[in-house]
Structures are given as structure tokens and as C-alpha cells.
Structure 1
Amino acid sequence: MARKKKHKKHEEHLDESWLVPYADILTLLLALFIVLFASSSVDANKFKQMSTVFEQIFDGGTGVMDHQSPVQTDTPSDTKEAKTTNNNQTAKGALGEKEQKELTDIQRKVNQYIQTKQLTNKLGTSLTDEGLLVTIRDNVLFESGSAEVPTENREVVKEISNLLIMDPPRTIVISGHTDNIPIETQQYSSNWDLSVMRAVNFMKILLENKKLNPEWFSAKGFGEFKPVASNKTDQGRSKNRRVEILIMPRSAANQ
């Protein structure tokens, strides 16, 4: 009798149905990592792109790996240009056309005084997004290490006070600044003390002008912590020793 051929047992077929949910989980995890990576720098356009990707994922569309990453890397030049543009827009928006014109008129009047008195090396003006800034070097007003305005310099302060008469009045902030050379005298234990008292004493002389309302004035000191030049040179330190008058926009008084 012919032997019956033995049939080899087929290997059991592995159940691979678990791969589908496993792949979905990996896709969602990858999408989560992309969101976390992009969250620090995402803007409206990038967020819209990511939203589109997630909608397609949850609606059963193509996987996230089929899309370009919504995160775009800015080159250094792009970043610098963007920051410059933002700063310009902020400054322009902060003042507004009418406010900018009014402050420019005040600046023109102050500059005319500076030129007439031949003080271009001692006083200066600049229009910032905070308002009109008038800078006065400390050697115009004060002796070294002192916060007292000498008698011969008080006339300059009084003339400056006439430039601050405005109708309606504006908020005016007087700030004192020093270089980074430490000071320790019987009167002033630090540059903080010196800068504050210079601002206060300067403001007091301004307010001897009865046409100025003290309600609109304030004084503060920054010590050496707001330099406008390097403290490594005599010239730089000279620029940092200063008193500043900030003539603020009218809108600031309502904030």
C-alpha cells in the first residue's frame, strides 16, 4: 500500500491587527513633539499650517510625515530685519502722527535754544517711542561728585524751564545717571544716591518757575545702570554722567 503523504503543518499566521493602533499612536506622538518644538516660536501662519495637519490626521487623511514641517527656521538676517521692522512700527505706533508732530515742534524749539547758546556739545535731543528726550551732560550743571547746581549754572536750568512751559502741560520725568566709577563720600554712599539727588536738585530749580505745575513732574535715579556709551574710556564715562528730561506724550497721562 502506498504511504499517505504527511502534510506539514503550516505555521500559525500571526495576528498583525495590533499594528494599526500602534502606528496611529506613533503618529500622534510625533505630532505632539512637533508642537512642543514649535511652541516657542510659532506665529499665526505656522499655527494655521499645524492646525491643517492635525485636522487631516484626525479625519483619517494622510499622516503627518507626508507634510512639510510647519516649523520654519529663520536665518540671522531674517531675524534682524524682522526685529528692526517691529521696533520701527512700535515707535511709530506709540507716538502717532499728531503726537509726533507736537513733540517735533517742541524739539525744534529746544534745538534752537541749544544752537543759540552754543551748547551743542553739552545738550542734545532725541525723539524716542517714549517721548522727547533732552540730555544734559553733568559738567553743564554739576561739579565732580556733587549734586548741587553751582550758582553760575542755575541760569541755564531756568532757561530750560521756560522751554517746558506747555499748554496743556505734559508729564515730565527727570532722571539722573552716573558712570561706573564707585563713589563714597559723607553725603553720597553710592552712585544711586548721587544720581537721585542730581535729578531732584535739578527738578527743584526747574520748579522755581511758577508757570510749571509740580504735579506733572517726577524724579528718579539710575546710578550707572543705564549707560549710553562705554565706561572704558573718559569720553564714554563723560556721556554717561548726565541728567535727562523726558517729555512724555499726552496719551501717557491717561494710562
Structure 2
Amino acid sequence: MAKKHKCPECPAGEKWAVPYADFLSLLLALFIALWAISESNPAKTEALKTEFIKIFDFSPSNVVESETSNQQQYKGASKTPQDELEALKELTLTQQETIKKLKAALDQQENQVALQLPARIEFERGSADIVSQDVRDFLKYMVDFTKGLPSKIQVEIRGYTDNSDTALRSFDLAYKRAENVANYFIENGVNTKSISIKSFGLNQPLDNDASLTKNNRVEIYYKMDVTDEQTQKSVIERLDTFNP
């Protein structure tokens, strides 16, 4: 009877390959999930980004400091319109620019971005008349600026008052102030379909002392879809090139 030959032991495989493949599969699933969230819910994406920074003790500023000057230049050249908007917001929230420079503060509200120029249009107490030459000059700048913006942008004109009168009268006065500014825009060639008016009356004072004169004002907001990067880019270019 022939003697059976024992099967030689197979060489041990790479044991790390299986768990490594599982890890890559999970990582791919994570990236797909993050991509899906970023497409459907940008706000949630920002929240997740903040949490990841905390977990991994990662600071973007550390990376920037370690880059070479060439890398920094390349990174700056590849900024998205949203990056530019955020940089513009940080700049204008820390300083008041003169009227002629027309720098802007950005405020993201739900699905819109609101652009507010830092200078205010102020009124005499109890009056809705535009009498100051400085105010008229500023409005002229604003009209010229507005005409150069994409037609998709909505111009929202908001009126306010101090607390020297009743809430109802203050509401009416604030509306009349915003209406007078809107009429100035329309009379000087701004499309009436792009303009809306809001009255806040004696609400939202700029100072704890609600009777201060600076609360008698009108503010102008330019509103655009937060997902419309092309329009946002056009606004940035308009800000950069506009010289009243």
C-alpha cells in the first residue's frame, strides 16, 4: 500500500490585509456619507467639520504656517467664492470703512446671504425726509453700486426709529423712511421688481439707549441665494472694482 504524503503547510498570508481592507471600506463609506451631507445640508457639514477639528486637535492655521510661500500663493489663488465671502465678512466686522470704500458685512440667514454696507442712512427725529446732502451723496453711490449688480439680487430696504413715540407710529415712520429711500432708487433707474421694504419700527436699536439719534436710520441689504456661487462672485468683483 502506497504511503500517503502529508500536504505541506501553506505559507502564512499577510494577516494585516483583511482588516486593512475592512478599514478602507469603512473609510470610503464615511467619505460618501460626508459628501452626501455636504450636498444636502451645508450647515450640518460645518458642524461636523468643527467636531472633527476638536477630535483630532487640528488647527487649519498650523497647516498654513507650515506651508512654503509658493504653496500659500497657490492656495490663495484657488479660493472659492464662499471663502472670499467669509474673508470679506471677517474684514468688515472688525472695522468701519468710509462710505466711499463701500466695504460690506455678510450675514448668512437660512438659504440666503445678506450683504449690508456698514454706513447707515440717518434721519432727523420724527422725520422721514431725506434732507442731508451727505445722505443724498451716499444714496447716489448706492444707486450706482446697485445698478452694477446681477439682476437676481434682491434689494431689501429696512426702516427703523428711536423709542420717542408709540410702537404703531414708530412702525409707520420707519416704513415711510424705507419707502422714501426705495423711491429714490427707483427714480434713479433701479428696477422696482428687485426692491422690497421692511419696517422694524422701534425694534432692534443699535444701542442700549434706544432713544439715540443713530436709531433713526435706514439700512440696505442685498440678498442672494447662498448656493449661487456665480452671483456671489459677481458681487465680490463689484466690490473690488467699484470706486464711487
- Greater RCO, 1 or 2 (C-alpha within 8 Å, sep 6+): 2
Larger C-alpha radius of gyration, 1 or 2? 1
Q: TM-score range by the shorter chain?
A: 0.3 to 0.5
TM value normalised by structure 2: 0.47
TM value normalised by structure 1: 0.46
